[in-house]
Amino acid sequence: MELNIKDKVTGVIYSSDMSDGNKHTITALNFCTSYTQVTVQDEIIDEVGVKKYPEKDLIIPPIGTKPNWIDLIATQNDNEGEWVG
């Protein structure tokens, strides 16, 4: 089963597909109390031609409920994401 998550800020769709051709990969899923934390990785080529793989976290809010206010403080610097089909 392949998972796809969209970064709501950048519009980039990340996939659990681990093939060499995938430049936007999901590397970890963490199911927290009131949200899902998804660690994603981009493949970029810098100005010298070196491949780099920066990681960041996307936060997927719960469906049908509101996240805990403490969780909102902990995740305030992360982009929001959403599941896509």
- For 27-49, b where at least 16 C-beta lie within 10 A, e where not — what string? eeeeeeeebbbbebbbeeeeeee
Cα torsion angle, 79, 41, 10, 65, sign:
negative
pLDDT digits (tens, 9 = 90+) for 71-83: 778 788 899 999 9
Kindly report, residue by residue over 7-16, the tens digit of the pLDDT. 999 999 999 9
pTM of the complete model beyond 0.95: no
Q: Which of 20 and 85 is assigned the larger pLDDT?
A: 20
Q: What pLDDT digit, counting tens, does each position of 17-44 carry?
A: 989 899 999 999 999 888 999 999 999 9
pLDDT of residue 67: 75
Start-to-end Cα distance in the chain: 11
